[in-house]
Structure 1
Amino acid sequence: MLIPFDPWREMLNFKNQMERFFERGDFLEPFNPARLFSPRVEIFEEGADVVVRAEIPGLNAKEDLEVIVEPESLTLRGEIRDERERKQERFYRSERYYGKFSRTIALPAEVEPDHARASYQNGILEVRMKKSGKNNPRARRIEIQ
């Protein structure tokens, strides 16, 4: 299913992302390649819901992940921690990511933040959000089941 391109929605999402960027002061920190980690997602509609599934392995969802639903976007923030102590180990290669991440995803339809729910199982976060036809400017942090 193709999602119709709405330039005004995309401009609004871009404006919101730029405001968050300057509020957090990300541009003041030195460049860190690890900040480039971004969970891979799939976004689709199922009945009256918009569903986002994200691959985020290696975290304890309730303590290490924050999910914020806004009417036109979804923000995933978290931290993947390396719990092992590495004193005498010799690594030849490590391609796993450890550290903080943040990703804001533009949604294909406006949703109701109050009716969103999230679950995390086997490294996959699933967020289900009810589609809305009305303008609801609030954001809401949701609990992960």
Structure 2
Amino acid sequence: MKNDKNFDWSSLNDKVEDILGRHFWNDLHDILPKRFPNIDLYQTDTEGIVVMEIPGLMSSSDVQIRLESNNLIIQGEIPYPYPYPKKQLPMQERYTGKFERSIRLPFHYLESSVTAKYRAGLLEVRVQKDPQKQTIPISFEADIEDEDLD
């Protein structure tokens, strides 16, 4: 499989389930660290857009956004939604509690042009790209040998 560049990764889930049983993914889910929240990052010619799944936020004070160098950092806390203690949940897959994600932006941006909105469990952050390209002038100095030839 290492050297097979045409391996069909989409069928891996079914193959693992056939070999290890249908409960494998549920058991694995309980022991692997959670990478939360899930994000998509896409860009146009003028901006980068980060879409983050954060269900359950109640107000803007539940989430904070900041820029550090070329990283967009989003942190917050998803409140526990039930009137019962966690120990009464025989299964809990939905994430609650504190979270933080750092997303490296693959472009330069304008700090003053960052906007965010939250709707239907999705946080959308728009970051305007810095449109200016910097051209660096190169000065050529005559070589000493060239000056001696004159």
TM-score range (shorter-chain normalised) is: 0.5 to 0.7
1:33-68 Cα distance to aligned partner (Å, 9 max, x none): 898442111111123111111111111240100011
Unaligned runs of 5+ in 2: 1-30, 135-150
2:133 and 2:52 mapped to 1: Cα distance? Answer: 27
* Corresponding letter in the other structure for 2:76: G
Q: Does 1:98 align with 2:86?
A: no
User: 1:115/1:71 Cα in 2 relative to 1: closer, same or farther (>3 Å)?
Assistant: farther
Question: Which consecutive segments of 4 or more residues in structure 1 shift more than 6 A?
Answer: none
For these two proteins, the number of residue pairs brought into alignment is 102
Q: Map 1:51-66 to 2 at 5 A.
A: 51-66=49-64
* Whole-Å separation in 1 of the counterparts to 2:38 and 2:112: 25
CA distance in 2, matches of 1:68, 1:115: 12
Change (3 A) 1:72 1:90: closer
Q: Summarize the Cα distance change of 1:108–1:50 in structure 2 as closer, same or farther, 3 Å threshold.
A: same
- Structure 1 56/34 Cα, relative in aligned 2: closer, same or farther at 3 Å? farther
Q: Distance in 2 between matches of 1:81 and 1:63?
A: 11
Identity percentage of aligned residues: 31
The TM-score, its normalising length taken from structure 2, stands at 0.59
Q: Could you tell me which residue of structure 1 aligns to residue 45 of structure 2?
A: 47
Equivalent residues in 2 for 1:10-89 (5 A)? Answer: 36-86=34-84
Q: 1:94 to 1:84 in 2, by over 3 A?
A: same
Structure 1 unaligned regions, length at least 5: 1-32, 136-145
Structure scoring higher RCO (CA < 8 A, sep ≥ 6) equals 1
Amino acid at match of 1:62: S
d(CA) in 1 for partners of 2:129, 2:67: 12
Larger Rg: 2
Q: 2:105 aligns with which of 88, 104, 107?
A: 107
Cα deviation, residue 95, structure 1:
1.0
Inter-partner Cα distance in structure 1 for 2:119 and 2:72:
19
TM-score, with structure 1 as normaliser: 0.61
Shift, 1:113, TM fit: 1.5
What amino acid is the match of 1:47?
D
RMSD of aligned residue pairs (Cα, Å) = 2.6
